[in-house]
Amino acid sequence: MRVERDNNPASPDTVYDQRPAGGEARPQKSEVVLFVSDGPAEATVPGVIGESREAAEDRILSSGLNPVVTEQPTGGAAPGTVISQSPGPGEIVDGASDINLVVATEPEFLPIPDVVGLPREDAERALSSFAPAVIGAREDGQPANTVAEVIPGVGTEHMVGDRVELILSRGPGDAPEPDSGDGEPPPVETGDGEVGSP
């Protein structure tokens, strides 16, 4: 019996092949060769950002690595191209390691719903397809802590996940400040149209 060792994705000291194969008839005292793994060889991660999904997967596979793809809607890159990877280009990893790729897909656009006048919590639920953020408050004829304005405007179409800014009402006159959600009072509109601290 003869043992040959080399790098292989199998765990170290594991027999991953043999010659002749198991069950194959051979004359007595024929030599049997066992192929034993020394573990995976190290590999350098290729840089594939900006490449098509197919080209990126081919390059990673040819480097002895395993591409794992996640899709992400975005308007900043052509659909089907790689927009990020981890581990990064040039890093040294074990052979057969997973290389995580994020591939751009066509973004989805939705109109911004009319949430003016709604309580903050209801407005945020209605805007769950976006990323609502309270940026200030102002005196308004509406009850305190309801939405006075939406930026960008109601009905305009924007990509799912985009930031949508809300200005809340402080209520008429000297109504209490609405809660900004972070424990601090929100900025207020000053007399010159600027937003500042209360």
Look up the pTM and report it: 0.54
Q: Does 131 reside within a domain?
A: yes
Last-in-domain residue among 105, 120, 138: 105
pLDDT tens, residue by residue, 25-54: 767 777 888 888 877 788 999 999 999 999
Residues 116 and 169 in one domain: yes
Q: Do β-strands 131-138 and 163-169 pair in parallel, antiparallel, or remain unpaired? A: parallel
Which two tokens mark 141? 């004829």
The pLDDT, as a whole number, for residue 188 is 53
Given this model, what pLDDT does residue 62 score? Answer: 92
In a domain, 34, yes or no: no
Residue-number span of the structural domain to which 169 is assigned: 109-196
Q: Are residues 127 and 143 in the same domain?
A: yes
pLDDT at 12: 81
What is the three-class DSSP state of 120? helix
C-beta contacts of 47-51 below 8 A and 24+ residues apart: 47/85, 47/88, 47/89, 47/90, 48/82, 48/85, 48/89, 48/101, 49/82, 49/83, 49/84, 49/85, 49/89, 50/81, 50/82, 51/81, 51/82
User: Are residues 113 and 155 part of one domain?
Assistant: yes
Question: Within a domain: residue 173?
Answer: yes
Q: How far is CA 128 from the centre of its chain?
A: 18
79, 105, 131 - which closes a domain: 105
pLDDT digits (tens, 9 = 90+) for 95-153: 889 999 999 999 999 999 999 999 999 999 999 999 999 999 999 888 999 999 999 99
- Return mean pLDDT, the chain: 86
Residue 66 lies in a domain: yes
| Interatomic CA distance for residues 138 and 175, integer angstroms | 10
How many structural domains compose the chain? 2
Residue 86 and residue 116 in one domain: no
96 and 169, same structural domain? no
Return the CATH number at 187.
3.30.10.20
CB-based burial label for 13 (10 Å; 0-12, 13-18, 19+): exposed
What are the DSSP calls for 47-105, one per residue? P-TTSBHHHHHHHHHHTT-EEEEEEEE-SSS-TTBEEEEESPTT-EEETT-EEEEEEEE
Q: 127 lies in a domain?
A: yes
On whether residue 132 sits in a domain, the answer given is yes
Q: Comparing 129 with 180, which gets the higher pLDDT?
A: 129
Checking if the pLDDT of 192 tops 60, the result is no
pLDDT tops 60 at residue 164: yes
84 and 114 both lie in a single domain: no
Chain segment 61-100, per-residue pLDDT in tens: 999 899 999 999 988 899 999 999 999 999 999 888 999 9
* Residue 61 falls inside a structural domain: yes
Model confidence band, residue 173 (pLDDT cutoffs 50, 70, 90): low
